Amino acid sequence: MCVSVKKRRSPLITVLLWLCLIAYVLLLLKVILFKFDHDTIVNILNDTDELAYTRVNLVPFQTIRFYAFSGRVPASVAVRNLAGNIVAFMPIGILIPLVTRSLSLGRTFLVGFVLSAGIELTQYLTGLGSCDIDDIILNVLGAMSVTLILAVLDLIGFFLKKITKIMRKSLDKKHRRV
């Protein structure tokens, strides 16, 4: 589903939206990759043995099932992890359509996937976290859910405008007859 926005927008707004997107991506990188203090990051990056112990999950839904159904993780930790991965990428689902002026689910999927996969790959290569396919799934779900909601709202708005236009024409015809 791709709904394009046709109205002209000032270059200043475009620049501000791009700056918001860049700032949010930098914030994500800070929160996900650079959550440790400087010394800890340096130690992790210099410890080649640490990379051998980097946790990797390439089995889709394994971590999600573990958190949701194993009973070995407190509910608060499970919710924080699963919901956190979804919520963290929701702003991407708003910012990409605003920057590109299009409610393209494909574009949101692509940006969300590439960004999330890049973060996961960086975690794997540096040892600054665990690399998990489920994080990518949840991140993309978060980004796409917001874009999908925006697209549905846009579609509802489109139909409401059409219905309003039909109703006005009908009322105009009735008033002309009187």
For residue 52, count other CB atoms closer than 10 A to its CB.
Answer: 8
In a domain, 71, yes or no: yes
Rounded Cα gap, residues 75 and 81, in angstroms: 10
In a domain, 67, yes or no: yes
In a domain, 4, yes or no: no
Token pair 């917001």: residue: 146
User: Structure tokens of 146?
Assistant: 């917001």
Q: Is the pTM of this model over 0.85?
A: no
In a domain, 112, yes or no: yes
Domain span at 91? 11-177
Count of structural domains, the chain: 1
In a domain, 2, yes or no: no
In a domain, 121, yes or no: yes
In a domain, 5, yes or no: no
* pLDDT confidence tier of residue 98, bands split at 50, 70 and 90: very high
* pLDDT confidence tier of residue 18, bands split at 50, 70 and 90: very high
In a domain, 149, yes or no: yes
